[in-house]
A and B are shown apart, each in its own frame.
Chain A
Amino acid sequence: MTREFEDTDVRIGGRVTVQQGDDILVDHAENHIVNLGLNNLMIFLAGSRWTNALVSNTFYSNRYYATMNCGSDTTHGTTYATTDLTNKISTAPSIMSSTAVNAQTTTRWVIQYIAMWNPGLITSQVGEIALYNGNFTGPPLRWDYVNTSYSATLFSRVSVADGDFVAFTPNAAQSLTITWEIGVNQ
């Protein structure tokens, strides 16, 4: 189900850039945020309180679990219900970082996630890429959201099957860097 934007609406979107050494392999491909990502945001807006069933006074979420993975699939497009990569390459980034929220204007904010794999860690063809987040999961509630476990789940995906980029095979002699920008703007 889709709707057209109106002037008063706010857009939440994401763009992905892939670099190998100094070469740009994917340049600002638009991402596809999935149901798990939207549900996470609505739980935060709708909920009144967050109970931590793990008996701690620190409530980890969202960026704490942010990470990325590549995958090899080139035939399955992203749907709202997609929950993971189709053929995930399990190698985690050598370095995973994110920036603070950057207020680019009074009506635009950006967070940048950066993942880097050391040379030779990913050598097979890449046809899909995912951003995972410490999403709140389960149906959105208006009262008490109870955390019983923590994990990262899919927030957004880009793929060859969606026409977002052309499949590539990383050069084993160079590092692979993926920059994922999530922007909120009016």
Chain B
Amino acid sequence: MSNINYSGIVTVKQGNDIVFENAKNHFTTYGMQTIPCFLNLNYILQNGGTYTNYTGLCSNNWSMYIGTNTSVATTPGMTALNAPIGTTPGTAPSAKSSVVIDGTSTGIWATIWTGVWYPGTVIGTIGEMALYLCYCNTTTANGWNFTSGSNASVNVTAGMFSRLSVADGDFQAFAIDTTKALSIDWNIQLSYA
């Protein structure tokens, strides 16, 4: 139990049909750097605007996006899909939800973010997809500051946390069936290795 395994697993469905399941994601710099930067935080400061006593965490303003690119593999420094469907960063899901699994008894902690696009809201052939979470990249400062606005939580920025792509060999490109809902379950786990 010396190391911790930090991984992401993705399953895609159209209606009740599974397009692919349990493909492993590729964390970007945002996704990897967030862990040590969070540990390094002294404080989060809600600084400015009307005082409120709360601020955002990673799942504030989270989203998922899909794209058509099939030739550009994921690199750590990548910050957006190569060819998103819809206006950059892409067309957000019609509905979003998440569940959290407490790993106290199993040794596997997980959060599953689910994005659903209603039938006909996105069109094209999917070659890449991304999970966007609020990220932490403050490597040198003591704190994580939100500097404007009356509600600190709305000032958190979401970025591309991890990506899955045809170019990485993660799945085969598939055309969206516009008569069915498209759903993506993105499961990020922390577990003992």
Could you tell me which A residues sit within 8 Å of B by CB distance?
Answer: 1-6, 8-13, 30-33, 35, 38-39, 41-53, 55-64, 78, 80-81, 98, 100-103, 106-107, 109-111, 133, 139-142, 144-145, 182-186
Contacts and interface: CB of A to CB of B under 8 A. Distances in A.
A103 B190 contact: no
B108 interface: yes
Given A5-B193, A46-B58, A142 B100 contact: yes
A51 B151 CA distance: 12
Contact of B41 (A12, A53, A62): A62
B99 A142 contact: yes
A58 B24 contact: no
Given A1-B107, A57-B46, A101-B139, A38 B190 contact: yes
Contact of A61 (B24, B27, B43): B43
Given A9-B24, A11-B4, A100-B40, 8 more contacts: A39-B103, A44-B57, A59-B43, A63-B40, A64-B43, A101-B40, A141-B100, A142-B98
Interface string B4-26: 11111000000000000000111
Contacts of B140: 100-101
Contacts of B174: none
Interface stretch (B28-36, B63-71, B84-92, B119-127): B28-36
B56 interface: yes
Given A63-B39, A78-B1, A11 B26 contact: no
A13 to B, nearest CB: 4
Given A5-B5, A61-B43, A51 B54 contact: yes
Interface in B46-76: 46-47, 51, 53-60, 76
Interface string B124-159: 000000000100000110010000000001000000
A13 B1 CA distance: 10
Contact of A52 (B4, B54, B77): B54
A106 B8 CA distance: 19
Contacts of A31: 2
A59 B7 contact: no
Nearest to B51: A57
Contact of A12 (B4, B40, B102): B4
Contact of A8 (B7, B55, B107, B143): B7
Nearest to A60: B43
B118 interface: no
Contacts of B35: 10, 12, 41, 109, 184
A2 B43 CA distance: 33
Best-surrounded residue of A57, A81, A183 (most CB of chain B within 10 A): A57
